[in-house]
Structure 1
Amino acid sequence: MKDYHYYFRDMYHHGEYVEFEGKKLVCELSSRFGMNQEFEGIISSDLIEIQTMYKEYVEEDYELGNVKLHFEYNGELAQDGYILQIEQETITVFASNKRGIKYAIDALGLLLEPCEKGLRLPKATIHDEPSFPIRGIIEGFYGVPWSFEDRMDSIDFMSKHRMNAYMYAPKDDEYHRELWREPYPAEEFDKIRQLKQHCDKHQVDFFYCISPGKDMKFTSQDDFALIQQKLKSMMDIGIRNFAILMDDIDYVLKEENKNFLGRAGVAHAYLVNEINRYLKQELYQYQLVMCPSEYWSYWDTEYKKDIRGLMDPEVLVFWTGYFVFAPTIDRTHAKNNREYYGHDFILWDNVPVNDADKDRIFLDPVRNRYSKLNQHGHVGFVSNPMNQWELSKISLVTLSHYMWNSERYNADYSWKLAIEQFAPDHVDSMTFFCRNNENRRLWFGKNEQLEQALKDRSMQEIDRHFKKFAEVLADLSGMRNEKFHVEVKPWFERAEMDIRLWHAILACENDPTDGNREKVREWVEKCSFCSVRIGSDMAMKAAQEWGYAKKQENKKETTHEELIESASSQSLS
């Protein structure tokens, strides 16, 4: 049996298996979960509907099952948690909500494996609960928003990876930010409706986010009425989760806003409380999240004092860690900032987002997050992915592991599993490509062997690297993933340019003629003006280190200590 102990929080298995004849698991269903017995999106009639890659194991038409499947309610389990008991003739699922039942059925699909008789399952008990009640994706980056197809696929992805929240907040959706007062055109609104329906089908909560902070008039009843109209239109299609985003604005109050409320923290608390009051009038059950203007930092401020003292206590607060792109989120930062804001947190982790590094792609795992954030007021964790949805999936698999079980999370092991899932027939090549495209804002590790080769002018070692890179590009070109090829194309082309630059450098090192030097200059110029770059940047580093290019032509990489110093010295105004 595959090792799924990392995937589940607790799994008890003593080496025994239950075997079934045939190619499909046929289940006879009984349930004491709810009197209405509605399991839409989980089961259909008396059939199990496994919404994972293992759907082929489920019989579509049968008379009697070869195993009994029983659902039972257990209110002591955490939200989305479940217990799965696999015995000789019965499989029992205990859960506190229907999403927990879905995750248990998904787990059952993962555990099924072929055997000589047909299929087998381990005789086992799994007790699985998440570290965070809210886990998911916030589409909150700048630049070209995802396509409708990408958004639909992201919901499928979240459902398969035990994430339960999709937060709609694309910065360049005009009706979310710049034109927040205006209603969505019918065609755009219908797409939001379809996204909400797709979320419902896959047990994912849809959060609609609005960003009125750039030009909100706090004295204007008309502005408040327009926000209410926008939110009401979302309520009418079943949305019950909302966020008010006040990030990335000039939040110094001016003119009538200043005369009316005095300070930004007071104004933002006032705005959120008014919206919260409206939601209470309209909805019996809902969630409201606020993103403050000071969404990063790790010290107390007047703004935070106003939020903790004035904003309704049930409203959740986003933060990104001690920096916009935080290399580390440790216990001290989490504990202190939770106390400074006085509200429960959702960590908005800017991993693997690349809107501040449009020339780069980030294919590494999330690292250096405190394993017990949930013990310091963190009830949620959401990832802000890249503009390139398909390329975001590798990092997002690792994030999904952290969100579900932060205490056990192992970055490198999760990275390995993510790559195996993303490119099962090209694991070695994809691993190499990912290692050459790590996020240098968050991970400062380097290939020490190659760095030493640069210093020693070891041509052979660096040449091996680029020969390997050429083999990797050739192998990955055979991947059966059209979306991957569309998104990665600029970086494949840049990698080929880097290889050509290295060949020119190698030729010049062996024969430093004017013609060879000119060839190096030609490729240095092409690489310098290329709109994208490979993270390891080895060819340009060699050109700079050995005098073929000026060092300032390459972007300077910031160290962890420099980020901390920068954060401490920046003015929050």
Structure 2
Amino acid sequence: MRDFHYYFRDYYHCGEYIEVQGDKLICELSSKYALNQQFEGVIHSDRIEIVSKHKEFVERRFGLGNINLDFEYDPELAEDGYVLKVEKERILIAARNKRGIQYAVDALDVIAESRGGSIRLPLVAIHDEPSFRIRGIIEGFYGEPWTFADRLDSIEFMARHRMNTFLYAPKDDRYHRELWREPYPEAEFANIRTLKQHCDERHIDFYYCISPGNDMKFASPADFECIFRKLRAMMDIGVKHFAVLMDDIDYVPKEENAHFLERPGLAHAYLVNEINRFLQESLPHYRLVMCPSEYWSYWDTEYKKDIRETMDASVLVFWTGYFVFAPVIDRKHASDNRRFYGHDLILWDNIPVNDADRGRIFMGPVRNRYSRLAQHGHVGFVSNPMNQWELSKIPLITLSHYMWNSERYEPDVSWNLAVNEFAPELVDAMTFFCANNDNGRLWFGRDEALERAIETRDVAVVDRHYQQWASVLEQLQAWNNEKFLAEAGPWLERAQHDIRLWRAIREALASGTEQAKAAAAEQIARSKEQQTRIGSDIALRAAERWGLCPQPEPTTEG
């Protein structure tokens, strides 16, 4: 990462540097952040070690560090914001919270340059703060949930990319949705406890989400007690943030629910208010988020009116844009929905989730999000990733850039930085793979040269495309990222099949023999049976356009 002016909000450097001896920055800490200087376990870095001058062993060995580091508390900074100044004699970090301190240390690691026995630092001032107060990931997709190892890795990933929020809401966790009344089995609850602890260690806010809307009885004290019992168990392990998800349910009140609360908006506001009252009585500090059943759309409704007029104003509201998978989220839609709901919003962006299109993976950047959502009632932005955690990382890196500094975000710049970070030794091959797995639900552009080649029957252009695919496959399959290869395997196999299909098509066109045409027809039939898809199906579409697909036999009526 060398594009500092893109990565940081404000970066001031006039071309001067200092050089300190050693393979690490050993920073002697002098802090005015707090009287209780307990920073052990707060700062994480491989190349930066912080020792306090107030520690006895440091006082006895004064001069242990190779540079001085001062921490200061600055209440005027935004949450998670910081100021980092590298001067000739010291480094100064000012922040409002410990997360801001960590981000400043991370920034120091980014700008530090190892030079064989020494570290060079620019004399620089960085003023950095996020566009959104809440930034992170919601594990909210259908299908196979992430493994416990995936979740732990996602926490590390978020901490490295200036995200601060993890919402636990896998649709196929039965105790989150289907069996919401029942307590978690001991082993599963232990995993949630460990996950929460890991979030605490990495300065990530953990949210437990519950989804009772399918069969909640709103007039039932017993049902409310089931919810409260579930939340109490979470509070006992330190959880302070919660979400009530009413998405993807039949939300028309029926039977006793209809007698008790006639409209769904009133019912959902009542449910959330009761949970909010319980949290107020139980916790001195917490956050509650609600996902409405009408979580997408761009017009006002009776449901939204009931939410804005009856649900407690402190509760945040999720929405996904004007559609479940919104190609564009502009100023008007954002501003209108803030007004319609009457609550501060968190954008639940369904990028790069693929649970509605399981034959695809989506490796492109986030695009077409208004640069100033935060100025229109949006306090947060969270991404719903794919079931494939490792494959989600490239689009998530671009999302992390947008979350931190939406005003400066450029999709293609972030995409390039993400690929370079994820696969620095395979940038060209990985860029090609990602470009052929862009998000077709949100980005409708196609490769114009290939589209022209199909129209004009330009065999050479299509041939070069599949020659490149063959080279890319060889490089990717030799890569030592086992997790990537396991998750991408079905799509690598599909690409290999498309290469075989194209070669059969090319042979049929060149020879014109019935045998070659039959071989091509066999490959075409196999293509149509494939569960996975790559790109815009160039080979198959070429076969169809060029008359190589077998035509159905005409039917005769007796």
Alignment TM-score > 0.5, same fold: yes
- 2:487 match: 487
Give 2:535's aligned amino acid.
G
Partner Cα distance (2:229, 2:284) in 1:
18
The residue matched to 2:337 in structure 1 has which SS?
Answer: helix
Indicate the SS of the match to 2:180.
coil
1:40 to partner: Cα distance = 4.4
- How high is the sequence identity, in percent, across the aligned residues? 62
2:131 aligned partner? 131
| AA matched with 2:81 | G
8 Å Cα contact 1:437-1:536 kept in structure 2: no
Deviation string for 1:512-571 (max 9, x for gaps)?
22211111111112111112111332111212222333899xxxxxxxxxxxxxxxxxxx
8 Å contact 2:162–2:400 — kept in the other structure? yes
**Aligned match of 1:543:** 543
Match of 2:532 in 1: 532
| Aligned partners of 1:352 and 1:395 also within 8 Å | yes
Paired residues for 1:317-396 under 5 Å: 317-396=317-396
> In the alignment, residue 448 of structure 2 is paired with which amino acid?
E
Partner AA of 1:486 in structure 2: A
Quickly say closer, same or farther: Cα 1:409–1:550, change in 2 above 3 A: farther
Which amino acid in 1 is paired with 2:313? Answer: P
- Is structure 2 residue 7 aligned with structure 1 residue 7? yes
Aligned to 1:77: 77
Tell whether the 8 Å contact from 1:241 to 1:288 is kept in structure 2 after alignment.
yes
Instruction: Look up the match of 2:202.
Output: 202
Q: State whether structure 2 residue 259 is matched by structure 1 residue 259.
A: yes
Q: Does 1:437 align with 2:431?
A: no
Q: Residue 402 of structure 2 aligns with which residue? A: 402
Could you tell me whether the CA contact under 8 Å between 1:351 and 1:383 is conserved in 2?
Answer: yes
Evaluate the alpha carbon distance shift between residue 183 and residue 116 of structure 1 in structure 2; reply closer, same or farther with a 3 A threshold: closer
For residues 99-135 of structure 1, give each alpha carbon's deviation from its aligned partner in whole angstroms, at most 9, with x where no partner exists.
0000000001111102366111000000000000000
Contact 2:28 2:50 (C-alpha < 8 Å) held by counterparts? no
Distance in 1 (alpha carbons) for counterparts of 2:512 and 2:337: 58
Q: Distance in 2 between matches of 1:462 and 1:423?
A: 26
Structure 2 equivalent of residue 119 of structure 1: 119
CA contact (8 A) 1:360 1:535 kept: no
Give the 3-state SS of the residue equivalent to 2:507 in structure 1.
Answer: helix
The CA distance in 2 between the partners of 1:40 and 1:196, in whole Å, is 19
Instruction: After TM superposition, list the pairs within 5 Å mapping 1:198-237 onto structure 2.
Output: 198-237=198-237
Conserved? CA contact 1:265–1:306, under 8 Å: yes
Q: In 1, distance between residues paired with 2:285 and 2:473?
A: 51
Kindly provide the amino acid, as one letter, of the partner of residue 328 in structure 2: T
Contact 2:29 2:50 in 1 (8 A): no
* Distance in 2, Cα, partners of 1:494 & 1:239: 43
Amino acid at match of 1:93: I
Q: Which whole-Å CA distance do the structure 1 matches of 2:433 and 2:545 have between them?
A: 23
> What secondary structure sits across from 1:284 in the alignment?
coil
TM-superposed CA distance for 1:314, in Å, is 0.4
CA distance in 1, matches of 2:337, 2:210: 24
Any idea what SS the aligned residue of 1:127 has? strand
What is the aligned partner in structure 1 of residue 271 from structure 2?
Answer: 271
Give the equivalent residue in structure 1 for 2:108.
Answer: 108
- Identify the residue that residue 170 of structure 1 maps to in structure 2: 170
Change beyond 3 A, Cα 1:537–1:292: same
Are the equivalent residues in 2 in contact too, given 1:364–1:415 (CA < 8 A)? yes
User: For the Cα contact (< 8 Å) 1:423–1:479, is it kept in 2?
Assistant: no
Residue identity matched to 1:81: G
Equivalence for 1:281: 281
Q: Does the 8 A contact of 1:41 with 1:202 survive in 2?
A: no
Secondary structure at the aligned position of 2:4 is classed as coil
Q: Which amino acid aligns with 1:330?
A: D
The letter for the 2-side match of 1:406 is: S
Contact 2:14 2:124 in 1 (8 A): yes
Distance 1:478 1:131 in 2: 40
Q: Using the alignment, how far apart are the partners of 1:154 and 1:129 within structure 2? A: 22
| Runs of 4+ with >6 A deviation | 59-62
Give the 3-state SS of the residue equivalent to 2:323 in structure 1.
coil
TM (norm. structure 1) is 0.93
- How many Å separate the matches in 1 of 2:173 and 2:16? 54
Change beyond 3 A, Cα 1:406–1:550: farther
Please state whether the residue corresponding to 1:146 is helix, strand or coil: coil
Distance (whole Å) between structure 1 residues aligned to residue 548 and residue 168 of structure 2? 47
- 8 Å contact 1:366–1:395 — kept in the other structure? yes
| SS of structure 2 residue aligned to 1:243 | strand
Counterpart Cα distance in 1 of 2:2 and 2:550:
51
Query: Amino acid of the residue matched to residue 84 of structure 1?
Result: L
Q: Counterpart of 1:144?
A: 144
* Displacement of 1:87: 0.3
Tell me whether 375-384 or 513-522 shows the greater mean CA deviation.
Answer: 513-522
Contact 1:545/1:551, CA 8 A, preserved across alignment: no
What is the deviation of 1:57?
5.1
Counterpart-to-counterpart distance in 1, 2:167 and 2:33: 29
CA distance in 2, matches of 1:287, 1:57: 33
**Kept after mapping to 1: 8 A contact 2:23/2:117:** no
Which position in structure 2 is the counterpart of 1:561?
A: none
CA offsets 1:228-277 (integer angstroms, 9 cap, x no match) = 00000000000000000000000011111001100000000000000000
Secondary structure of the 2:441 match is coil
Q: Is the Cα contact below 8 Å between 1:544 and 1:551 reproduced in 2?
A: no
Cα distance, 1:38 vs structure 2: 2.3
Paired residue for 2:292? 292
Under a length normalisation based on structure 2, what TM-score does the superposition of the two structures give?
Answer: 0.95
2:187 corresponds to which residue? 187
The Cα offsets for residues 317-363 of structure 1, whole Å up to 9 and x where unpaired, read as 00000000000000000000110000000000000000001000000
Partner Cα distance (1:96, 1:181) in 2: 40
How many pairs align?
Answer: 543
Q: Quick one: distance in 2 between partners of 1:59 and 1:289?
A: 37
CA contact (8 A) 2:26 2:67 kept: yes
The runs of 5 or more residues in structure 1 that have no matched partner are 44-48, 553-573
For residues 340 and 550 of structure 1, do their structure 2 counterparts lie closer, same or farther at Cα, with a shift above 3 Å needed? farther
The one-letter amino acid of 1:22's match is G
What secondary structure is seen at the aligned counterpart in 1 of 2:409?
coil
Q: Secondary structure at the match of 2:5?
A: coil
SS of 2:6's equivalent? coil
**Bigger shift: 478-487 or 229-238?**
478-487
In 1: Cα distance, 2:347 partner to 2:39 partner: 31
Q: Tell me the alpha carbon deviations over residues 467-520 of structure 1, each in whole angstroms, 9 at most, x when there is no partner.
A: 000000101122221100110111100000000000011011112222111111
2:26 counterpart residue number: 26
AA aligned opposite 1:228 = F
Inter-partner Cα distance in structure 2 for 1:416 and 1:536: 22
Cα distance, 1:36 vs structure 2: 1.5
Q: Shift in Å at residue 9 of structure 1? A: 0.3
- 1:416 and 1:255 map into 2 onto residues whose CA distance is 55
**Consecutive unaligned residues in structure 2, runs of 5 or more:** 52-56, 553-558
Distance 1:480 1:122 in 2: 34
Give yes or no for contact 1:24–1:59 (8 Å, CA) kept in 2.
no
Structure 1 CA distance for aligned equivalents of residues 551 and 472 of structure 2 = 28
Match of 2:68, SS state, is strand
Amino acid of the structure 2 residue aligned with 1:140: G
In structure 2, the CA distance between the partners of 1:365 and 1:452, relative to structure 1 (3 Å rule), is same
